[in-house]
C-alpha cells in the first residue's frame, strides 16, 4: 500500500474516539439534567463538577484529533 | 513542531487541489490550517549554539503578561471601600479563585493561592488573546498567536505544577507522601494491583494536564481556520454556489462562541486540577 494512502486511512481511524467522547458527553449532560430535575435546589452547586467532567471527557475525543493531526502533518 | 508540508495537497482531487492552490495566493492571509501555529523569530538572538530568538510566541506572552499587570495595577491603584468598575472585576476574579482554592485544598490552600491565581489568569488571557483576529495584511510574524496552542508551553506549566506537588508532598508528609500510592484499608492481595495503577495514574498526570490544554487550543483554532477556508473556497466558486458560503460562515460564528466558552473552561479546568493535585499532596498522610 502507498504510504500516503495508509496515512489517510490511519488519520480516519484516529477519529473513532469521537464516538466514545460523544457517548460520554451525552451521559454527563443527561445524568446531570436527570439529577437537576429531581432536585433543582442542588443543581447549581453541582454545575462546576459537571463542567469539569465535560472538559475531562472532551479530552478523549481531542486526543484522537491530535493523533490524526500528528499522523497527517508530523511524519 | 507541527508544520505544513509543502505540496501536501498532492494526490487529492484536482479541483479541490486547485482551490487550495488558489488560497495560497497573497490576497488571502495564511493559507492552510497549520500556518497559524508557526513560531517565527522577530528579533533573532543566539546564546552559544542555542537559539533564544524573541519570537511571535514570546511577543504574545509578553503582551498577555503586560495586560494582566497593567489591569491589576489600574484596578488596585485606588483601593476604594466601595469598589469601582475595574476594582469590582479584579475582586470578582480574586474571589472566584480564592473560593476554588479554599473548597478543594482547604486550610492549607492559602499559600498556594498566588500560584493558582497566576496560572489561571495567564492561561485565561493567553487563550482569549489567541481568539483576536489578525490585522489584515500584516506580516506573518505579527499575526495573532495563541501561546497555549504549543505543547512546550502547556507541558512546562503542567510540569511546574507536578514538581510543586512532589516537592511540597515530601516536605510536608515526609515518606508518608508515598501513602498516596497505597491507600490504607485494602485487603493485602489487592495492593499488588492498586500500587502499579496508582503510580501509572500519577505519572500520567503531567501529560494529561499539558496535552488537554494544548489539544483544546490546537483543535479549536484548526477548526476555526478550516471553516474560514470553506467560506473563501465557496466564494471562489462560480455563480450561485457563492450563496452556499453562508453555511460555513454561520458554522464559523457558532464555533467561535464555543471557543469563547472553551477558552475560559480550560483555564478553569487547569486551575481546578492543579488544586486537586495539590490537595492530594497536602492530605497524603491522612488516608
Considering only CB atoms, which chain A residues are within 8 Å of B265? 51, 54-55
Confidence of residue B8 (pLDDT cuts 50, 70, 90): very low
Count of domains for chain A: 1
* CATH at A31: 1.20.20.10
pLDDT in tens, B42-85: 888 888 888 888 999 999 999 999 999 999 999 988 877 888 88
CA-nearest residue to A71 within chain B is: B2
Residues of B whose CB is below 8 A from A63: 211, 215
Residue A38's DSSP bridge partners are: none
Question: Looking only at Cα atoms, what is the longest distance across chain B?
Answer: 75
Q: Looking at per-residue confidence, does B25 or B66 come out higher?
A: B66
**Distance linking the first and last C-alpha atoms of chain B:** 42
Long-range contacts, stretch B128-133, CB < 8 angstroms, 24+ apart: B128/B260, B128/B263, B128/B264, B129/B60, B129/B63, B129/B64, B129/B67, B130/B60, B130/B217, B130/B221, B130/B263, B131/B256, B131/B259, B131/B260, B131/B263
3-state class of B88 per DSSP? helix
3-state secondary structure of B256: helix
The residues, any chain, with a CB within 8 Å of residue B152's CB and separated by 6 or more, are B1
Its pTM stands at 0.83
State how far residue A60 is from chain B, nearest Cα, in angstroms: 9
Cell of A56: 475531562
For residue B217, the distance in angstroms to the closest alpha carbon of chain A comes to 10
Residue of A nearest to B211 (CA): A63
Buried b vs exposed e over B215-224: b needs ≥16 C-beta within 10 Å?
bbbbbbbbbb
Contact: A74, B266; criterion CB under 8 Å:
no
- A25: closest CA of chain B, how far (Å): 15
Provide the residue range defining the domain that includes A7. 3-74
Per-residue pLDDT band for B202 (boundaries 50, 70, 90) equals: very high
Residues of A with CB under 8 A from a CB of B: 4, 48, 51-52, 54-56, 58-59, 62-63, 65-66, 69-70, 72-74
| Burial of B206 from C-beta contacts in 10 A (0-12 / 13-18 / 19+) | buried
**B88 pLDDT higher than 80:** yes
What is the per-residue pLDDT across A34-61, written as a single tens digit (0 to 9) for each?
999 999 898 888 888 888 888 888 888 8
Look at residue B7 and tell me whether its pLDDT is greater than 50: no
Residue B31's pLDDT band, with cuts at 50, 70 and 90, is low
CB neighbours of residue B4 within 10 Å: 17
Which value, to the nearest 10 degrees, does the dihedral of the CA atoms of residues B167, B171, B172, B173 take? 100
Distance of CA B240 to the CA centre of its chain: 40
Minimal Cβ distance to B215: which of A48, A54, A63: A63
Contact between B130 and B245 (Cβ < 8 Å) = no
Q: How many pairs of residues across A and B have Cβ atoms under 8 Å apart?
A: 48
- Kindly calculate the radius of gyration of chain B based on its CA atoms and give it in whole angstroms: 24
Mean pLDDT over the full length of chain B: 85
Are B212 and A55 a contacting pair at CB < 8 A?
A: yes
Amino acid at each position: 500500500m502507498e504510504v500516503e494512502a495508509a496515512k489517510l486511512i490511519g488519520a480516519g481511524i484516529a477519529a473513532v474516539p469521537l464516538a466514545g467522547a460523544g457517548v460520554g458527553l451525552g451521559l454527563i449532560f443527561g445524568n446531570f439534567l436527570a439529577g437537576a430535575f429531581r432536585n433543582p435546589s442542588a443543581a447549581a452547586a453541582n454545575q462546576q463538577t459537571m463542567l469539569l467532567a465535560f472538559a475531562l471527557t472532551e479530552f478523549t475525543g481531542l486526543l484522537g484529533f491530535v493523533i490524526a493531526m500528528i499522523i497527517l502533518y508530523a511524519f | 513542531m507541527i508544520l505544513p508540508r509543502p505540496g501536501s495537497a498532492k494526490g487529492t482531487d484536482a479541483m479541490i487541489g486547485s482551490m487550495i492552490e488558489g488560497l495560497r495566493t497573497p490576497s488571502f492571509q495564511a493559507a492552510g490550517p497549520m500556518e497559524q501555529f508557526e513560531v517565527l523569530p522577530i528579533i533573532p538572538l543566539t546564546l552559544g549554539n542555542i537559539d533564544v530568538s524573541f519570537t511571535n510566541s514570546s511577543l504574545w506572552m509578553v503582551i498577555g503578561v503586560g495586560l494582566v499587570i497593567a489591569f491589576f495595577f489600574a484596578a488596585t491603584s485606588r483601593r476604594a471601600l466601595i469598589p469601582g468598575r475595574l476594582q469590582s472585576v479584579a475582586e470578582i476574579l480574586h474571589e472566584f479563585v480564592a473560593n476554588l482554592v479554599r473548597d478543594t485544598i482547604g486550610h492549607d490552600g492559602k499559600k498556594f493561592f498566588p500560584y493558582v491565581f497566576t496560572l489561571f489568569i495567564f492561561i485565561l488571557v493567553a487563550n482569549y488573546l489567541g481568539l483576536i483576529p489578525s490585522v489584515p495584511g500584516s506580516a506573518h510574524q505579527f499575526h495573532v498567536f495563541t501561546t497555549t496552542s504549543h505543547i512546550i508551553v502547556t507541558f512546562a506549566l503542567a510540569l511546574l505544577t507536578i514538581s510543586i506537588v512532589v516537592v511540597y508532598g515530601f516536605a510536608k508528609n515526609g515518606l508518608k507522601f508515598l501513602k498516596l500510592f497505597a491507600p490504607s484499608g485494602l485487603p493485602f492481595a489487592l495492593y499488588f494491583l492498586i500500587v502499579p495503577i496508582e503510580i501509572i495514574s500519577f505519572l500520567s498526570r503531567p501529560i494529561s494536564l499539558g496535552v488537554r490544554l494544548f489539544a483544546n487550543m490546537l483543535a479549536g483554532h484548526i477548526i476555526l481556520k478550516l471553516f474560514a477556508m470553506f467560506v473563501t473556497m465557496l466564494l471562489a466558486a462560480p455563480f450561485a454556489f457563492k450563496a452556499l458560503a453562508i453555511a460555513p460562515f454561520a458554522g464559523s460564528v457558532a464555533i467561535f462562541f464555543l471557543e469563547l466558552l472553551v477558552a475560559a473552561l480550560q483555564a478553569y479546568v487547569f486551575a481546578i486540577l492543579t488544586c486537586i493535585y495539590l490537595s492530594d499532596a497536602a492530605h497524603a498522610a491522612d488516608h
